[in-house]
Amino acid sequence: EAGVAQSPRYKIIEKRQSVAFWCNPISGHATLYWYQQILGQGPKLLIQFQNNGVVDDSQLPKDRFSAERLKGVDSTLKIQPAKLEDSAVYLCASSLDLEGEYYNEQFFGPGTRLTVL
């Protein structure tokens, strides 16, 4: 089965510019996550979707970050405007959560490495 796909793999922008990342989860996975991983740290959850609804966006800096998951499949994460401290790897993950069932494994994509100059 194909894994989680993300694009682009690398992005370099200047501060105050905008950037968008795309994620295609594993087919059939209802839950999709966006994480931010700063160098030397563990992934930090930004937002979690179940199908096309938001489950948790408590750690998403909503003044500059936005995310959507139209039709409950692909998702995009946008930063506008970017700051220097947004330099990080942005990881997308998905998990199989059927109604009434709980699967604890999350499958991660390769990530997008963002550098803000």
- Looking at the DSSP bridge assignments, the partners of residue 116 are 13
- Report the nearest approach of other proteins to the CB of residue 33 (Å): 8
Applying CB under 8 A, which part among 60-68, 69-77, 79-87, 100-108 lies near other proteins?
A: 100-108
- Report the nearest approach of other proteins to the CB of residue 43 (Å): 5
Q: Say if residues 81 and 16 touch (Cβ distance below 8 Å).
A: yes
Residue 1 CA to residue 49 CA, distance in Å, equals 22
Region label for 47, one of left (φ > 0), alpha (ψ between -120 and 50) or beta (otherwise): beta
- Nearer to other proteins (CB atom), residue 19 or residue 32: 32
One character per residue 16-55, x = contact with other proteins (rule: CB under 8 A): ---------------x--------xxxxxx--x-x----x
Nearest to 28 by CA among 76, 98, 108, 99: 98
Tell me which residues touch other proteins (CB under 8 A): 4, 31, 40-45, 48, 50, 55-56, 91, 93, 95, 97, 102-111
